[in-house]
Structures are given as structure tokens and as C-alpha cells.
Amino acid sequence: MSAVAAQRGPARRSFAASTWALVKRHVLTVYSILFFLYLMLPIVVVAVFSFNNPPGKFNYTWSGFTWNNWRYWNGVPGIQSAITLSLEIALIASLVATALGTMIALALVRYRFRTRAATNILIFLPLSTPEIVLGASLLTLFLHFTFVQFGFWTILIAHVMFCISFAVVTVKARLIGFDRHLEEAAMDLGANELTTFRKVTLPLITPAILAAFLLCFSISVDDFVVTYFNAGSSVTFPIYVWGAARIGAPAQVNVIGTAIFVIAITAALTNVLIQARREKRA
Amino acid sequence: MLWLAIFFVVPLGFLAYQSLQSGNFDVGYAFTWAWGNYWSAIRDYRPQFVRSIEYAGIATAIALVVSYPVAYFIAFRGGRWKNLLLLLIVAPFFVTYLIRTLAWQTILADHGFVVNTLQHLQILGSGGRLLATGTAVVAGITYNFLPFMALPLYVSLEQVDPRLIEAAEDLYANKIRAFLRVTLPLSLPGVIAGTLLTFIPAAGDFINAQLLGGPDNHMIGNVIESKFLELTDYPAAAAMSFILMAAILAFVAIYTLVVGTEQLTGTPT
């Protein structure tokens, strides 16, 4: 009798424990699902309201479905030139920032020099500074030189400035896990420094460089604060949205927002899927 | 090696130059050691300073509590969906910041679904609204900077060896105590990184306060923005930027002392 009870004790506890684990597991799962729904909510709102057919200029309440906002995506004055400017600046800024950032990352990881610690902090500084301070300090810098014309070039310089840090951090992460023996092997086989870099180092860090470029591009396209301070009378897409928000943003803004989201998420999803497949094969 | 040094010094000098310039400019067009700018900035805009720290602090705390379980979920239960879930976490970044915030304007709008529900539940008075309140601003900030919190949390939780947790559960015989004694301390670097990454941009933000708040909810960012771009009162605005920066750097310095720069900047020791 007692033996049975003693036997049953631990068994029941483990049953209770597993039930508890099951409940806990589901609580966490349900919670996570709710979290992701919350995360997606504004995105859904943006997408849905891009099909809205607002009677006035306020696109806040649902008032009927229409394709017109998508068909006439550039139907509001200024929006197309704003997008063009944003894309131009993002393209050039991320090319420059990625190139410079890669070199800085190489220097930081490969060489021990006296200002290395200081450089590490300097790279980190723009990341840890509020954007408004970055924008304001650049504005004062440009104001100091009275010949500077605010516009394309000031925006470009500003974007390169804050993109470099992100590029350095991204490429550095890859370089830290880099096997230097590969380079040594190349050198032993008779390659000079340049050839080694071109044939061995570069191909290996290309994914990181590409990632840095994409990161810079998306940050640049999205940036408002720093741009706003240094744009003068030039209008990038975020600045256009800001101006439009004061008088009621047209549904076309939602169209562009949704389009950017769909393009970016498709690219990212493809990347994830390709990686997953590659992992499976490996 | 030399060309590396050259290309590395140029942006470095540029950065240093820039950071020095903003320092000189707070005394305006004539250099007169006008420290008064600082005092008047603190005196006149103390509510905005306090509010910035307050809103950013609350938003950071909420973001931490809200995203920790999800980071935990992805790290330990994510399995092969990990990358996909991480992608979902950063998905809001694919929508332009301003458009995201405008979407919250729509969601929290008067007579919107959220306001109506809250009024129905008597949580909000019949004339109550969410827009133009501090709640809306904090909600907006929390949402916009959530990924900054969730990602570092995930990274640090991911590095925790599940066997360690199993061992702890065996030793402490209690999941909660095992979590408090082992999992939580091990994920502390992520907590600290996430807190910094959320708090810093949040404290300087002015977009949420502008779009979701009313004049009573303005943060120091709003003051700096209008001083710079509308009133062209550069000395005062620059002084304020510097106070904000100093406050944040002090905050970072304390954290750095606790964790060490190498961990913050992601360099191996």
C-alpha cells in the first residue's frame, strides 16, 4: 500500500511538472503571437489605408475601397521628386559609407595602432548620440562656412557620416570571425598583398559588405531627423511626409510606405529562405 | 597598410572636427564664454528636460518587460523559425519611421477603435482621448524603438547554454529561481545594451511628441528643433543639444563602467 503511494508520488509530480511546462509553453507562445500582432498592427493600418478613398484630405477614417491611390501614386505634387532625391542620396551615401566603413573595419581588426581605442569609441559615438544632436551639430558646422549651400551635398555628407558607423560595425563583426590562415596560405603560395586581398579577403567578407550596404541604404532612405536639419529647401521623402502630416497626409504616402515595405520584406524573406536552404544542405 | 591609415584618418578627422564644432557654437556668433546659455536653457526648459527623461525611461522599461519574453521565446523555442521571427521583429523598420508614427495617429485617433473600446470599458471618460496625451507619446516611443530592445535581448539569450539552465533547474528545483539566478544574470549584457539602444534615441526624439502629443507633451527634442529651424536661436539650441548629449553620455558612462566598452562596442576581449 505504502509502496504504491511512494511510487505514485514522483510520478504525479512529474506529471504536474509537465503540465505546468505545457501551460507555460503555451502562455509564452500565445504571448509571443500577441506581441507580433501588435508589432504588425501599424503596418497593416498603413497598407489598408493605402486603399482608402477619403472624401477630404484627411486619411484617418475608412471610407471605401479604391485602386486609385496606387494607380496615381505620383498624383500629388512633389512626391515623385522627393522619392527620386531620397533614392539618389541613399545610393551614393551607402556606396561611399560602405567603402570607407570596410576600410576602417579592416584597420580596426587587423592593426594595433595607438588611436585604436579612441577610434572604437569614435565609431560608437554617432550610434550612441541622439539623432537630433547629430543633425544639430552638422547644421552648426555647415552654418559656420557661409559658402555652404544647403541641399543635396549637405544631406549627402550627413548621411555618409552616420552610415559609416553602421558599416564599420557590420563588417567588423564578420572580420572578427575571419580565419587569417587563409590569407597566410595565399601569401605562401606566392600571391602578393593586393592579390591576396582581391582573391581571398574580399570574397570572404563580401556578404558583410553587402549587408552593410543594404543597412546603410535603408537607414539613409528612412532618415528624417538629421536630414531635416541639413536639407535646406530640398525635400526627401521623409521630409515630404513630415510636411504632408501637418496638413493631412495624402493616401499616396501610404502607397509608397506599403510599396517600400513589400519590396524590403520580400528581399529579406528571400534571403532568409536561401540561408535556410543552404543550412539544410550543409 | 598606409592607404588604410589614410582612408581611416580622413573620416576620423571629419568626425572629430564635427564634434568639436558643435561645442564651439553654443556661444553663438560672438565667442563670449556665454555660459548663461546653459543656465537659461536649464532654467527655462526644465519641464521639457524632465519630461524627455521620464517618457524615455518609461518607454524603455515597458519595452524591456514586453520584449523579454518574446526574445526568450525566439532564443529557446524558435527552432527553425528563428530567422523568420527575427525578421518579423525588424519588420516595422521597413516602414518609414514617420509613416509608422502616422499609423499610430490613425489607430489612437478620436472615435477610433482603441478609444471607443476604452470608453466602453469606462477606462477612459466619454470625452476622453488618447491623442495629444503623454500616454500616446510613450506608446509611440515604445513601439518605434521596440526592435532596439528585442534584438540585443535575443542575442544575449541565444548565447546562454540551455544545459546551464537545465542544471540550474535541477539544482534549484524551481524554474523561477533558476531563471532569476541563472538565465536573467546571463542575459544582463543584452538588457543593458537594449536599454541603452532604446533610451538614447528615445530621449532625443521629437517626432512622437509632435505627431502623437499635444503642446503639453513636448520633449526637449521639440524645443531644440523649433529653436534651430524656426526661431534660429542657435546658441540656446546648441546649449540644449549639449546638455542632452551630456546627460546621455553620463548615462552611457555609468553603464560602460559596469560592463566595459569592449562589450558595448562588440569587440572581443
Within 8 A of B268 by CB-CB distance, chain A residues are 176
DSSP per position, B147-187: HHHHHHHHHHHHHS-HHHHHHHHHHHS-HHHHIIIIIHHHT
Closest CB from A120, A133, A143 relative to B204: A133
Taking an 8 Å cut-off on Cβ atoms, the answer to whether A139 and B228 are in contact is yes
Q: How far is B122 from chain A (nearest CA, A)?
A: 23
* Assembly ipTM: 0.72
A267 inside 8 A of chain B by CB: no
Closest CB from A130, A143, A176 relative to B201: A130
Residue A94 exposed, middle or buried by CB count within 10 Å (0-12, 13-18, 19+): buried
Q: How far is A51 from chain B (nearest CA, A)?
A: 14
- Does residue B30 fall inside a structural domain? no
Measured distance CA(B63)–CA(B118) in Å, rounded: 22
* pLDDT one-digit tens code per residue, A158-198: 888 888 888 888 888 777 777 778 878 888 887 777 788 77
Chain B residue whose CA is closest to A239? B98
- Does residue B131 fall inside a structural domain? yes
pLDDT at B169 over 80: no
Residue A5's pLDDT band, with cuts at 50, 70 and 90, is: very low
CA-CA-CA-CA torsion sign (B210, B213, B215, B218): negative
Taking an 8 Å cut-off on Cβ atoms, the answer to whether A229 and B228 are in contact is yes
Measured distance CA(B1)–CA(A53) in Å, rounded: 60
DSSP per position, B202-240: HHH--HHHHHHS-GGG--HHHHHHHHHHTS--HHHHHHH
The model's pTM is 0.75
- Does residue A63 fall inside a structural domain? no
- Domain containing A144: what range? 77-249
Taking an 8 Å cut-off on Cβ atoms, the answer to whether B80 and A229 are in contact is no
User: What is the total count of domains within chain B?
Assistant: 1
A32 inside 8 A of chain B by CB: yes
* pLDDT one-digit tens code per residue, B189-210: 788 888 888 888 888 888 887 7
CB pairs under 8 A between A and B: 223
Give the mutation candidate from B62, B66, B95, B262 for the A interface (greatest A CB count, under 10 A). Answer: B95
User: What is the total count of domains within chain A?
Assistant: 1
Measured distance CA(A76)–CA(A233) in Å, rounded: 18
- Does residue B62 fall inside a structural domain? yes
* Angle formed by the axes of helices A152-176 and A131-144, nearest 10°: 130
Closest CB from A45, A132, A222 relative to B106: A45
Within 8 A of A145 by CB-CB distance, chain B residues are none
- Domain containing B112: what range? 55-264
Considering chain B, what is the average pLDDT of its residues?
73
User: Could you count the other beta carbons within 10 Å of the beta carbon of residue B21?
Assistant: 17
Measured distance CA(B130)–CA(B79) in Å, rounded: 39
Give the model's pLDDT for residue A144.
66
A173 inside 8 A of chain B by CB: yes
Taking an 8 Å cut-off on Cβ atoms, the answer to whether B19 and A100 are in contact is no
Measured distance CA(B220)–CA(B234) in Å, rounded: 15
Take residue A95 and report the three cell numbers written for it.
556606396
A138 inside 8 A of chain B by CB: yes
* pLDDT one-digit tens code per residue, A64-97: 777 777 777 777 777 778 888 888 888 998 898 8
Backbone dihedral angles phi then psi of residue B99, each to the nearest 5 degrees: -70, -40
* Angle formed by the axes of helices B36-44 and B46-77, nearest 10°: 70
* pLDDT one-digit tens code per residue, A7-41: 444 555 677 777 777 776 678 788 888 888 888 88
- Does residue B50 fall inside a structural domain? no
Residue B179's pLDDT band, with cuts at 50, 70 and 90, is: confident
pLDDT at B252 over 80: no
CATH number of the domain bearing residue A202: 1.10.3720.10
Measured distance CA(B241)–CA(B239) in Å, rounded: 5
Largest CA distance in chain A: 98
- Does residue A6 fall inside a structural domain? no
Q: How far is A133 from chain B (nearest CA, A)?
A: 5
Q: Which of residues 81-100 of A touch B (CB under 8 A)?
A: 100
Chain B residue whose CA is closest to A279? B80
CATH number of the domain bearing residue B119: 1.10.3720.10
Taking an 8 Å cut-off on Cβ atoms, the answer to whether B16 and A130 are in contact is no
- Does residue B31 fall inside a structural domain? no
Q: Which of residues 139-168 of A touch B (CB under 8 A)?
A: 139-141, 143-144, 161, 164
Give the mutation candidate from B64, B96, B222, B243 for the A interface (greatest A CB count, under 10 A). Answer: B96
Q: Coil, strand or helix: which one is A66?
A: coil
Give the mutation candidate from A22, A62, A133 for the B interface (greatest B CB count, under 10 A). Answer: A133
- Does residue A44 fall inside a structural domain? no
- Spatial neighbors of A64 by CB under 8 A, at least 6 apart, are A52, A53
- Does residue A262 fall inside a structural domain? no
* pLDDT one-digit tens code per residue, B104-139: 887 877 766 777 777 767 666 666 677 777 778 888
* pLDDT one-digit tens code per residue, A189-238: 877 777 887 788 788 888 888 888 888 888 888 888 888 887 777 888 88
